[in-house]
Structure 1
Amino acid sequence: MLPPLDAAVPASAEIEALLTASVGAPTTVERIEPLHRPWVLRAHLAGATGPPETVVVKCLRPEGYGLRSAEELTRCEHAALAFIADDLRLDLAPDLHAAAPDSRMLVLEDLYPRTELAELLHQEGHTPALDAELTAFATSMGELAAASVGRAALFNARRTALGTGADRLGDWEHAHIGLWRSGLARAAAFGVPLPAAAERDLEAAVAELADPGPFLALTNGDSESHNFLTGPGGGKLIDFEGAGFRHALTAAACFTVPGPNWLGVSGPGQVEAFRRALARTVPEAEDDRLFGFGLAAASMVWVMTRADRLTTLDARGPGDDSRTQMVSLLESGARTAEVHRVLPHLAAWCRSTADLLRRRWPDTDIDTTAVAPYTWRER
């Protein structure tokens, strides 16, 4: 069931005025269709020659999330879409047709009938065709990173012009919202504290993300397959509310360790596609040592972020997929570090913690490497 429209949704007249001013021709909204969130809707336009037949309107959320207020989320998306189209000249994201002066309402290109890649994976499983789409997704993120390297000041200037204060421009931590700290504390409370050597590995991973060096690039801040729409006309990246300049390989970690929806991910082919695209402007991406450490660091910080859920999952009953997902997450993080021969003590902690969970939660004692990639977490 679609969520109802609420008082925060703009009236047709507001959308009409914004589009009319933008395209220089009278625009009439025929009807408004709510989409998957109350603050996202589709406006059907009547017989105008300037704008398209439909547009997507994003409004101010009821509240913010992570490190950003609701107002900062829309300002950031406004800045990112303009930056990608006008400064980077990339056709990787929806066009921004119009924006309110305070960024509280954005009118975007309607990408229908494209579909979320995550939805297709959920419905069809990991087919060869969808593996190709995953590769296109990885390539798009790599191309965005490659094109944006060295241009953080320009992006931040756009954010500042829209009202973002200088103290809000530091983005390196937003990809993981600092929750690795909570994960570290929760692991100790759960009875699996990190040994000193593993904690030093974690500190090294966090330091890598804090100082990306040549890998500083634009990511959308939520690099998961639900934010890639695929279909006629080619794939497009969406949802730039969390966009910012941070370590590029935080965008590739979704192919090495599972995000919230999945019990496992595919990995090597997509990582290599991302790497090839990034290496067009970042030669350091071809260095196995530098690339491997960055990828493992991003993967492990995500693992520690999700470790914040250990006590919550312990309270759930047998058969809850989230428990299996935690075991898979720990083991995939360890595999990533082991493949690249880095962070050995943190990898060992992941292995030992996964073993403990298998004993504590017997229903999770399965071969996680045999789980089909992109198996949906049902519960």
Structure 2
Amino acid sequence: MSAAWGRPVLLGAPELLKAESRAVVVRAQARGGPVPTVILKHFPDELVCGLDDWAGAEFLTRQGLDVGPRFLAGDVAARLFVLEDLGPGRSLEDALRGEDARAATGGLIATARLTGQLHARTMGLKSEYDLVRQALPPRPQRVRVENARYLLEHEGRLLRWLAAVDAEAAPGMHEDLETVARTLADPGPFLTFTHGDLAPGNVLFTPNGPRVLDFEYAGMRHALYDALMWLVTLPLPDELVSRADITHRITLSSQCEAAQVDSQWARARATLALARTVNLFQWLPPRVLEEDREWAPGLSERAALLHHLARCHALLATADGFPGLARTLESLESRLRERWTVPPFVWPALRQSGF
């Protein structure tokens, strides 16, 4: 830090914020620095995630985008980098689990708008991002190619689910999966910088509006990868999903002509929803048939699987293509609903909201 700023910097006693396998995170006072307190992130074991996090923060800082904490300094040998401290605040997850419906719904829409701004303002900046990321020890392959390969290489995990419930893969399923993977690897006009792990706990509300934290899975990929948070992942009322979708689309459309075309937008949503739904069946083994566990606080694995299938079905209904994969997932959903009765999940803040 002293070298980066050209003057002595003295750090105060660290306050441990998080100690996980991916990173150890502390807050400390920085006497003599450009900000009063800083966040230090140490990634002793997860080198690729740590460097992706570093590169994402540095890239956004270089572009002057006020989306997350500013990157301040780093040391590859120490596997450590330093960020601006945004201070304490409530997360989007705090809002959804609270009692204020207006704060929760407004927070989600503000997050969708911020995400659209992030995507719009990083359209066409692939080379600029690559310069930052490749200046660090380079990753084995581009994150979007990694996502596409995972989808295809673990097709057998989806087939095991089908066999476990006596369902069959419809003709054309594999070819549709290849089409989805090709779009992940080459998003065309939707290629932009993405957070990669947009979740309610990674959105912090500050006096200057929402900011996004933790870029461990960031990289250049399809813009709607981040939109999966409201399109597929979170159990949300349809009206709120539509509002977030429209907000993101309008904001992104300022720089992305493809987002202005209804058919292209519908197909993009369906493509990414298919990828994420298949991914969930690749991440969770068929043992869920015998034992249900918590997937996220208040939401079980069975509930998550059924929710993903339902949202994917709804998005496929608005788009052309993918008949083989669509029929396969419909068959799987039907079999699972015969086995499971899962009560709907409602966020505490939305229970009395009228949605």
Cα deviation for residue 205 of structure 1 reads: 2.2
Contact 1:184 1:193 in 2 (8 A): no
Does the 8 Å CA contact 2:90/2:204 hold for their aligned counterparts? yes
Aligned to 1:331: 310
| 1:263/1:346 CA distance change after superposition, 3 Å | farther
Residue 172 of structure 1 pairs with residue 154 of structure 2 = no
Which residues in structure 2 correspond to 1:262-301 (within 5 Å)? 266-301=240-275
Change in Cα spacing, 1:192 to 1:123, as seen in structure 2 (3 Å) is: farther
Q: 1:264 to 1:330 in 2, by over 3 A?
A: farther
Q: Which residue of 2 aligns with 1:114?
A: 89
Q: For each residue in 1:69-88, what CA deviation from the matched residue of structure 2 results, as whole angstroms up to 9, or x when unmatched? A: x22222222222221121x2
**Cross-structure match for 1:305:** 279
Give 2:303's aligned amino acid.
T
Q: Secondary structure at the match of 1:178?
A: helix
The yes-or-no answer on 1:343 pairing with 2:322 is yes
Q: How does 1:189-200 map to 2 (within 5 A)?
A: 189-190=163-164, 191-200=166-175
SS of the counterpart of 2:27?
strand
Supply the distance in 1 between the matched residues of 2:254 and 2:293 (Cα, whole angstroms): 47
Cα deviation code 1:205-242 (max 9, x no counterpart): 22222221111111021122222111322111111121
The answer to whether structure 1 residue 79 and structure 2 residue 55 are counterparts is: yes
Which structure has more RCO (C-alpha within 8 Å, separation ≥ 6)?
2
Deviations 1:256-284 (A, max 9, x none): 1125xx58784111111111121111111
Q: Distance in 1 between matches of 2:279 and 2:77?
A: 33
User: Aligned match of 1:40 in 19, 24, 38?
Assistant: 24
CA distance 1:177–1:224, change in 2 (3 Å)? farther
| 8 Å contact kept, 2:159–2:169 | no
Secondary structure of 2:178's aligned partner: helix
Q: Percent identity?
A: 26
Distance of 1:374 and 1:294 partners within structure 2: 31
Report the alpha carbon displacement of residue 350 of structure 1 after superposing the two structures with TM.
Answer: 2.8
Who is 1:214 aligned against? Answer: 189
After superposition, residues 180-195 of structure 1 pair within 5 angstroms as 181-182=154-155, 183-190=157-164, 191-195=166-170
Measure the CA separation in 1 of the matches of 2:70 and 2:201: 19
Contact 1:250 1:295 in 2 (8 A): no
Residue 315 of structure 1: how far off its partner (Å): 2.3
Does the 8 A contact of 2:147 with 2:185 survive in 1?
Answer: no
Listed as ranges, the matches of 1:142-153 within 5 Å are: 142-153=116-127
Query: RMSD between aligned alpha carbons?
Result: 2.7
Unaligned runs of 5+ in 1: 1-18, 63-69
Structure 2 CA distance for aligned equivalents of residues 158 and 282 of structure 1: 23
Q: From the superposition, tell whether residues 234 and 103 of structure 1 become closer, same or farther in structure 2 (CA, over 3 Å).
A: farther
| TM-score between the two structures when normalised by the length of structure 2 | 0.85
What's the secondary structure of 1:43's corresponding residue? strand
Q: What is the rounded CA distance, in whole Å, between the counterparts of 1:27 and 1:154 in structure 2?
A: 30
Distance 1:154 1:219, change over 3 A: same
For 1:31, give the aligned amino acid.
A
The equivalent position to 1:232 in structure 2, one of 182, 207, 214, is 207
8 Å contact from structure 1 (residues 103, 162) kept in 2: no
**Count of matched residue pairs:** 339
Aligned-pair CA distance for 1:291: 1.1
Structure 2 gaps, min length 5: 351-355
| Aligned mates of 1:177, 1:255 — CA distance in 2 | 24
- Whether 1:138 and 2:120 are equivalent positions in the alignment is no
Counterpart code for 2:150: G
Cα distance in 1 for partners of 2:190, 2:80 equals: 32
**1:109-161 superposed Cα distances (whole Å, 9 cap, x missing partner):** 11222232123313347x22221111111122221111112221221122221
Counterparts of 1:124 and 1:186 in 2: how far apart (Å)? 41
What does residue range 89-108 of structure 1 map to in structure 2 within 5 Å? 89-102=64-77, 104-108=79-83
Q: How far apart are residue 306 of structure 1 and its match? A: 0.6
